Amino acid sequence: MKIEQSLAQNIVVSMKEIINQELNFIDMDSIIIASTDESRIGKSHGGAQEVMRSKEDLIIDYEGQYAGTKKGINVPVYSDLDMVGVIGITGDIKEVEKYGKIIKNMTEILIKDAWLKDVSFKKRENYRFLIEQLISETGEVQNILHLAGLLNVDLSLERIAAFGEITNFAALNDEKSEKLSLLLRRALVYDPQNLFNVNGSKIRLALNANVTIERYEFILQKIGNDAESQLGLHLKFGIGTKCNTIKDFHSSFERAQIALDWALINSDAAIENYNDLDLGIILTTLDLDVETQFVNKILGKLSEEEKEEFSEILTIYGNNNGSNYKTADQLFIHKNTLQYKLIKLEKLTGYDPRQIDDYVILSLAFKLYNVMRKQIH
């Protein structure tokens, strides 16, 4: 195992803060790669060669006892059973000898911690690449199978695809991203066949279908609640259909994306299931030019402010089955004011929202308007 210079430098600087002595880290080529005395970096250390030969601590009684050495103590540093370098403490023997074992142990702990973090990072990167290949239409099957084998991922299992998005992405930072990954890991990796990846604002999941979709809805809801309360992050999820072949993964993830789009555009719910969608399937997949033509035809005479206002009114009006009283109450306006606004909408569009056929056209136009805003932004 080769110790990176940046890690070695962090170690000696951290150790100096504890013992207030100059320290050096010497690599297996007997070169000082890190030091609290910058003038010594890059120089050969003869004492380290002796430590590597004997695998024992070495006390330097006087400067120059070995080439490139100063008074102090040098101790071997291991990662598991392999020596990875030597750490030297400069100073009078009575002062530094007592620190030798402590510094050795602390250095080995820091190296082990850095190694574990590196392994964890590489593993997450491999999971990210595997999920991206499963989603892609052009993923090479042999590459996918090889990587899945390395990660002990069984692609023959039936899975549930899901997509998530952090809607307030600006609130995300590196620390919150790590904590979000930890929330997902705690909630999902009780089953090692559950795969997930957080990449920017996107969360991609390929979940083992050994439990019901309803169960995963509950788990994702809890993840969203915890992310909100603990990290201030707002999450929405779309759940796709089940799949059990590599070819099925792409279409399953596409459906999860459609469900997520609907959750982002037109739903108050944090989670949308593709199997529960109706209009959402059509409205999130229409060609943008077709959407634009339809919306302009129906809502072309409305300003942007009027579109937003009437979109809210019509949504609440429909949710209350056309009840003026309930709609006005929910909007905190007088029912006569509501009546005036509905008449105004009819005059501007030529469609009367109080008539069922006209209401359907207007409702569809406003839904498409909201879809277009999301697609554009």
* Contact (Cβ atoms closer than 8 angstroms) between residue 242 and residue 160: yes
* Span 113-135, average pLDDT: 85
Q: Would residue 122 count as lying in a domain?
A: no
Distance of alpha carbon 184 from alpha carbon 125, whole angstroms? 16
Spatial contact of 180 and 202, defined as CB atoms under 8 Å apart: no
Residue 218 and residue 207 in contact, taking contact as beta carbons nearer than 8 Å: no
- Taking the C-alpha atoms of residue 301 and residue 304, their distance in angstroms, rounded to an integer, is 10
Are 194 and 169 part of one and the same domain? yes
pLDDT over threshold 90, residue 227: yes
Which residue among 283, 298, 331 closes a domain?
A: 283
Number of domains in the chain: 3
Whether pTM exceeds 0.95: no
Distance CA(226)–CA(214), nearest Å, equals: 19
Nearest CA to 281 out of 257, 300, 311, 246 is that of: 257
287 confidence band (pLDDT: 50, 70, 90): confident
Co-location of 264 and 159 in the same domain: yes
Sign of CA dihedral 148, 151, 154, 155: negative
- Is the confidence at residue 10, as pLDDT, over 80? yes
User: Confidence class of residue 80 from pLDDT cuts 50, 70 and 90?
Assistant: confident
Which whole number is the average pLDDT over 14-27? 93
So what's the pLDDT on residue 374? 67
Residue pair 371/265 in contact (Cβ under 8 Å)? The answer is yes
Taking the CA of residue 367 as centre, how many other CA atoms within 13 Å lie in the half-sphere pointing to its CB? 23
Residue owning tokens 């990210």: 128
Are both 312 and 277 inside the same structural domain? no
Question: CATH number for the domain including 306?
Answer: 1.10.10.2840
Whether the pLDDT of residue 267 is over 70: the answer is no
β-sheet bridge partners, residue 160: 207, 242
> Looking at residues 198-221, what average pLDDT do you find?
92
| Residue ending a domain, choose from 283, 308, 324 | 283
Query: Would the pLDDT of 269 be above 90?
Result: no
Residue 30 corresponds to which tokens in the numbers above?
């007997």
Query: Which domain range does residue 352 map to?
Result: 288-376
Question: Cα angle vertex 317, ends 311, 323, to 5°?
Answer: 165
159: its two tokens: 């899975």
For 285-309, what is the mean pLDDT?
A: 89
Residues 6+ apart with CB under 8 A from 348: 301, 302, 306
